Amino acid sequence: MTPVLSARQERIVEILRTTPSITTVDLAQRLDVSGETVRRDLQAMADDGIVQKFHGGVSLHRDVQESPFLLRLRTNVGAKRRLAQLVSKLLPDGASIVLDNSSTACFVAEALAERRGLTVATPSLEVARTLARCGDRHTVMLPGGTLRSSDMTLASASALRFATQLHPDYMVVSVAALSARGGCLDFDPFEVEFKQAVCMHARTVIVVADASKFEAPGLITSLPWTDVQVLVTDCALPPDLAQACAGIRLEIAEATDVSY
């Protein structure tokens, strides 16, 4: 099971992403907590392979530095699980589904473990591996092509051809940002093309994004709002975004929806 970071531990990760190494004293000062509290947090994070400690200081673990996707799997876990559980309730048994290669899709796949008879297509080996733990409950389809090791995605021309042939009942994706003016935004050209190719034939497009994605940075419009039927998030939309999403079914995963 992916380790869950506390809000303070997530802040430590944010600091270490901009400051490659830092002393525990400086870290405690920046967090306004005691040195003992910081050392306790860091020990737990070191045990989970997120940070590596050295005499008097700490840095992000090399594996996390080399694979930002691993870090995304370990951050904002509570919100992603709530969203995933709500998405699972929206998907009927026996449906055909496309999941993207996002960390949120991994949590959706985890939430689908108790469902039955789903056919799930995805370019993500991580998503496929999560679904495979369910045994023969579901049928999992993967494209061919070259594996992108940074996030275990089959990102290739073959994967895009595969995407154009899919006609799923549901496409479930996450995005880098939700923009009132730009729609759903991403950075990676392959992810944009994959979503756009599947969207052409999907009956229902579900976008899943927590509040951190509201007006966050993004480069390319992957999906305009006119292509989205359902938006699943974890709090009310700000006014400009709510106006842009008028006519889209909004599903909000309250903090009380999932018990831990």
pLDDT tens across 85-109, in order? 999 999 999 999 999 999 999 999 9
Domain CATH code at residue 19:
1.10.10.10
Does residue 2 fall inside a structural domain? Answer: no
> So what's the pLDDT on residue 257?
46
Q: Write out the residue range of the structural domain in which residue 46 sits.
A: 7-72
pTM: 0.76
Q: Residue 123 corresponds to which amino acid?
A: P
State the pairing for strand pair 139-141/119-121: parallel
Task: Indicate whether 62 and 82 sit together in one domain.
Answer: no
- CA–CA separation, 186 vs 179, rounded Å? 11
Does residue 1 fall inside a structural domain? Answer: no
Does residue 108 fall inside a structural domain? Answer: yes
Examine the pLDDT at 69 and tell me if it is beyond 70.
no
Task: Indicate whether 57 and 150 sit together in one domain.
Answer: no
Q: What is the mean pLDDT of the chain?
A: 89
Domain CATH code at residue 158:
3.40.50.1360
Does residue 221 fall inside a structural domain? Answer: yes
